[in-house]
Amino acid sequence: MTVNPDTVNRPLRADAERNKRRIVDAAAELFAARGIDITLDDVAAHAGVGVGTVYRRFANKLELIDGVFEQRFEDLLERARIILGSDEPWDAMVEFFGCVCEGMSMNRGLGEIVMGSDDGYAKVAAVKAKLDPLVDRIINRAKQSGDLRSDVSANDFFPLIYMIGAATECTAAVDPENWRRYFAIVIDGLRERPDRTTTLPGRPFTQDEIACVKAGMHGRGR
């Protein structure tokens, strides 16, 4: 069968465009709530369309994930560009990494993409390639200001973000905002002058709440 190139490049009909938007919105909601380990059948059901409609718009789940999270990383890229214009390098660094951790706390899928491999996600990888040097600049500015510990490397921030992500998952059932407490502890540990600590937000959990967290982690096979 011969394919007419004009047909391939033709804009989607209004109903087809609406279906595509429903699919993307449904996928974004599911990725945020449940992570990227869902099926296209799940997306179709949540969008209220047939799974064949999903496959007509996206060849596979990787393509759908790439399309959904490209914009999330574009948002981080724009935030990094704005933050680099700040006159307070330390505050700018804290703001940026707080933004990343907050996004991960609200969107489970985003956390998995941030911490995972870029394999299969060409659009996300392209944005990350632009973002990474800006992140290095944010960190180096904080170090040059004398506020960030001189022995800290940009590569230290990957495991630190991973730690905050684990704390977010651990505390979500009791208090979804309490990750900020542990974020503050990590940030204070990065200060060149540890005497400039901040008042911790949130609160320590009670013994009963810790038991609840342990039970939840045990139920997920941890």
Mean pLDDT of 139-157: 95
Give the pLDDT band (50/70/90) at residue 164: very high
Q: Which of 97-111, 180-194, 202-216 has the lowest mean pLDDT?
A: 202-216
DSSP letter (8 states) at residue 12: P
Q: What is the CA radius of gyration of the chain?
A: 21
At residue 132, what is the residue type? D
pLDDT at 8: 46
Q: pLDDT tens digits, residue range 114-145?
A: 999 889 999 999 999 999 999 999 999 999 99
Is the separation of the CB atoms in 92 and 98 below 8 Å?
no
* 148: phi then psi, degrees, rounded to nearest 5: -90, 140
Mean pLDDT of 49-61: 92
Does 3 score more than 60 pLDDT? no
Distance CA 45, CA 99 (A): 32
